[in-house]
């Protein structure tokens, strides 16, 4: 147990650095997760069709009723 305490005291800055980088990456992941999802969702092909008789479009987001 004493050796663990000595090792921790000698490598304290490394441990703080690893924890800080881990928290930084976790915060970016939490806040940018929606942006990543929207980016990849926007790159998918869109399916649109136009009915020229009634001049209406079909496709995109479904409307709420």
Nearest Cα neighbor of 46 from 58, 63, 33 is 58
Q: What's the confidence (pLDDT) of residue 2? A: 85
Indicate whether 45 pLDDT > 80.
Answer: no
Q: What is the C-alpha separation between 28 and 24, in angstroms, rounded?
A: 6
The verdict on residue 51 lying in a domain is: no
The verdict on residue 9 lying in a domain is: yes
Q: What is the C-alpha separation between 32 and 26, in angstroms, rounded?
A: 10
Higher pLDDT: 27 or 61? It is 27
Nearest Cα neighbor of 51 from 59, 43, 40 is 59
The verdict on residue 26 lying in a domain is: yes
Indicate whether 61 pLDDT > 80.
Answer: no
The verdict on residue 59 lying in a domain is: no
User: CA torsion angle for 6, 10, 13, 16 (degrees, to 10)?
Assistant: -20
User: What global pTM score does this model have?
Assistant: 0.48
Indicate whether 65 pLDDT > 60.
Answer: no
The verdict on residue 20 lying in a domain is: yes
Domain of residue 23: give its range.
2-44
Mean predicted lDDT score pLDDT of the chain: 80
Indicate whether 39 pLDDT > 70.
Answer: yes
Number of domains in the chain: 1
């Amino acid at each position: 147990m004493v050796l663990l305490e000595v090792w921790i005291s000698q490598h304290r800055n490394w441990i703080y650095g690893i924890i800080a980088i881990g928290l930084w990456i976790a915060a970016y992941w939490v806040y940018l997760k929606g942006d990543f999802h929207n980016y990849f969702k926007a790159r998918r092909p869109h399916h649109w069709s136009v009915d020229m008789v009634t001049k209406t479009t079909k496709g995109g987001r479904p409307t709420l009723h």
